[in-house]
Structure 1
């Protein structure tokens, strides 16, 4: 009997661990291959009291995926540099020392920084306009992405929340997560000095030279007339 109880207890423990570890990442649109560039560093320079739509949207996405958690976006200016002072940083509260919270946090961060099906590194962070992340004494910076997570020595260890700072494009919902612009342009052409160049598929596709000595052109579906 004691052996049976031991086995049952072990099974319960395994099931419980599986429940903590199994998380559902945010629902992701089926994006085309084109993707936003990495966000450059653009630190806070002004004081604004309004929460920007990008951080609000990410907060809502996190709540919908992982359940409601405490969060904060805007802070009053206090002399320190922080994108919170411009309403373009989100503190989303997960407790590193709580197994369930930690699993959710790491699931979200893994989703943000994963390579997508097109081979784009850190795909969702780029599509959301993430500038940098801080969590559990470490920082990830979009402006030097290949460095990965590096030690963070700020006053807060960020073990009770993830800090997400956004570029202005991300803060204003001007990145492809919100606009899906990478799927919307179809085919466009530019005529410069008699040379016709065309791109198709998405905004970040390469231009292809189609013809020289062109005076005018028309694009009709798959056909280009010069």
Structure 2
């Protein structure tokens, strides 16, 4: 009996100390995957990412799905999340800064020294906030952003400029919960 207990203890301990599957293989930088169809039901990975963001950083849930029609959007495929935070509020700017630091900061590399590891594991395709876009295909380097619906920034709404929310688009694989960050979470 004692030998069986010891064996069970060794097995349980090794399972508890084993590296999770999420730590095994890091995804590369995601390519752009434009919306191509109308399937607006919120995908499980998008829902989990949205809940994780609001629970960890605060702010409000701004929604995932949008009605189909007009121009295509990842919202219409259930793989984009709008996080309601406002650039005019210092507390919201701090929330976004914490998220950005966790996702993209040089000191936020994983144990193997891989840059942008969390964003890559989550399958983030791009993020838009405060007239800037961070896209995977550009190594998440911030770039100026202006909506194609805006003739100029001065004539553009706060929403289209992403001053009142952060827009996050996920890859199809991430939206389905099939990237390494989702292992053991879904």
- How far apart, in 1, do the equivalents of 2:24 and 2:113 lie? 8
Shift of 1:105: 0.9
> Relative contact order (C-alpha < 8 Å, sep 6+): which is higher?
2
Shift of 1:175: 0.4
Identify the structure with the greater strand proportion: 1
TM normalised by structure 2 equals 0.76
Structure 2, unmatched stretches of 5+, are 1-19, 151-159
Bigger Rg, which one? 1
CA contact (8 A) 2:21 2:183 kept: no
Query: Who is 2:175 aligned against?
Result: 171
- How far apart, in 1, do the equivalents of 2:21 and 2:166 lie? 26
Query: Who is 1:98 aligned against?
Result: 89
Q: 1:34 aligns with which of 25, 28, 39?
A: 25
Query: Who is 1:52 aligned against?
Result: 43
The equivalences for 1:1-226 within 5 A come to 32=23, 34-67=25-58, 69-114=60-105, 115-145=109-139, 148-154=141-147, 155=150, 156-179=160-183
CA contact (8 A) 1:113 1:122 kept: yes
Shift of 1:110: 1.5
1:158-190 CA deviation, whole Å, 9 max, x = no partner?
Answer: 01111000101110010000126xxxxxxxxxx
What is the DSSP-based 3-state SS (H/G/I as helix, E as strand, rest coil) of the residue aligned with 1:143?
helix
What is the DSSP-based 3-state SS (H/G/I as helix, E as strand, rest coil) of the residue aligned with 1:84?
helix
Q: How many equivalent residue pairs?
A: 151
TM normalised by structure 1 equals 0.63
What is the DSSP-based 3-state SS (H/G/I as helix, E as strand, rest coil) of the residue aligned with 2:119?
helix
- How far apart, in 1, do the equivalents of 2:23 and 2:78 lie? 30
CA shift in 2, pair 1:67/1:150, >3 Å: closer
CA contact (8 A) 1:36 1:127 kept: yes
RMSD of equivalent CA atoms: 1.8
CA contact (8 A) 2:122 2:181 kept: yes
